[in-house]
Each structure stands twice: as structure tokens, then as C-alpha cells.
Amino acid sequence: MLFIQCIYPYYNPYVTAFSSPLPDERIYHYPLMQSPFLPAAILLSYVYFVLSLGPRIMANRKPFDLKPLMVVYNFALVGLSAFIVYEFLMSGWLTGYTWRCDPVDVSDSPMALRMVRVAWLFLFSKFIELLDTVFFVLRKKNGQITFLHIFHHSVLPWSWWWGVKFGPGGMGSFHAMINSLVHVIMYFYYGLSAAGPRFQKYLWWKKHMTAIQLIQFVLVSIHISQYYFMASCGYQFPIFIHLIWIYGTVFFILFSNFWYQAYTKGRRLPKSSTTANGALHQNGVAKNGKTKQN
């Protein structure tokens, strides 16, 4: 607690040196947005549970049968992700954005406030998705919990907290909209997979999940790279541009490597009979040849 008290006065000047003089006041009343310490505590607890506490609790227990819960969970995320995509489109991307240099609308207009709301909802969905890994632990599927999976699940909510806190909307929100669109497809796949063997015949497109991910990162990188070729751009948060470009590039390389290893060299090919929410393992190659993308 002493450490937190010492650094608290400094986190805001550090961020504002790279982005904006003040946090966005419109987001302050939303859950988790008053300070970075509650989100940080949640994410640290998540990492501790996944890597230490959870496996120790489950060591002498039988794995839980969570298939009915996972069917509901996955299809609920399909609906939530689809709603987020719709809200991003209707709060800017189809109602005024140029798809090039789009600054954050800092007004209190209904459209601007709608963008603030969906930006927060996207962030909140990342905390919900921490349950992906919790389910792995409770089902004793520890072999599917890779470093990249944990890294992605913990770093994305943390980085997006700052994005929503200071710049909800504008060109920095494009990758969130695309990511949510991919999640509609991804969680639909997981929902069918969790529903049981009778749906396996509809899961022939497992390989294409990686292709969808690669397309996602290409689109994000191309869109954000426009910033570097513009004579001027009114987007207020260039640090977010740099972080998004790095994110898209790094994960494109990682998924390209997986594609090469799994589908070109024939290594780590996923089993056709894999079911439930571990059929594909997010952002990395899991043991036993299973992968899941996010």
C-alpha cells in the first residue's frame, strides 16, 4: 500500500506527458475507471490464480464439467461482441468518421457519449474474457494455458484502460471494433465446440480461424500506419498510435509463425476431435497440438 501511495501522484503526469493534459472526465463515473489500481489488482489476481492458486486448488480435485456453462458463456460473448461492433459503427465509424485521421470527439454530444460508452464496454468485455483462462484451470486444461495467452489477456485490458481513460474513440478505436468483430466469429466457434460432438461436423473451418486473425492484424496495421504518412493529423494521442502499430505487427508475426508451423510444416496440427473452449488457444500454441486465438 505504501508503494501505491507513493506512485499515485505520478501516474497521471507520466501519461499526460505523452498524450493529453487531463483524463477524459466523461468516463470517470464508469466502473473501474476512477483509478488504475482496481484494474491492476484484478489483473494481478488473475495471473496469480491462473499460475499458482488455481492449479494448487485443483491438484487433488476432479476437473469440473462446465460444458453447459461454457455454451452459455460463449454465445453470450457472441452477442456482446456483435453489439459492441454495432455501437462502434453507429457512434462514429459509419456516422461521420473518415476511416483515416479521426480525432476523439471530446464534446458531450449524444454521438460522442455513445462512443465513450462503447469504448468502456469493449474494455469491460476484456475483463469478462479472463474467464476463458479460469475455465481452463477449473477443467484442469493447464496445458492450454500458454505464456502468450496470459500475456495477451492481462496486457490488453491494462493498455486499453489507459486508452479509454484518456482517449475513448477516434482512430485509436478501429482495432477495438475489428477485434470485436473477430470475437463474434471466434466465440461462435467455441460455442459450437462446447455444445458437444454432434456439432463437430460444423467445425471444419478451424484452420481459417488463424487466417481471420492474420487479416485482423493486417487491417489494424494498415489503418494505423496511415498516421505516419499524413502531413498533419488532429488525433490527440500519438502514443496510442505507436502502441497499436506495435501490437498489430508483433501479433501478425506470432500468428504467421503459427500458421507456418501448423499448416505449412505440418507441426502442432489441432486434433479434429477437440471440443469445448480449448479447441483453439488464444495467441499461442498450446501443448497437445491445440491452439486458441483471440
CB neighbour class for 29 (10 Å; exposed up to 12, middle 13-18, buried from 19): exposed
Distance (Å, whole) CA 103 – CA 89: 15
Contacts 24+ apart (CB under 8 A), 107-115: 108/26, 112/26, 112/169, 113/26, 114/87, 114/90, 115/88, 115/91, 115/168, 115/169, 115/173
Annotated catalytic residue, options 29, 149, 152, 175: 152
| C-alpha closest to that of 70 among 135, 143, 145 | 135
Distance (Å, whole) CA 189 – CA 70: 12
Distance (Å, whole) CA 99 – CA 93: 7
**Is 152 a catalytic site residue?**
yes
How far does Cα 116 stand from its chain's mean position? 18
Residue 95 to residues 88, 99, 113, 286, Cα–Cα distance (Å): 10, 11, 14, 41
Give the CA count within 13 Å in the CB-facing half-sphere of 73: 19
Active site residues: 152
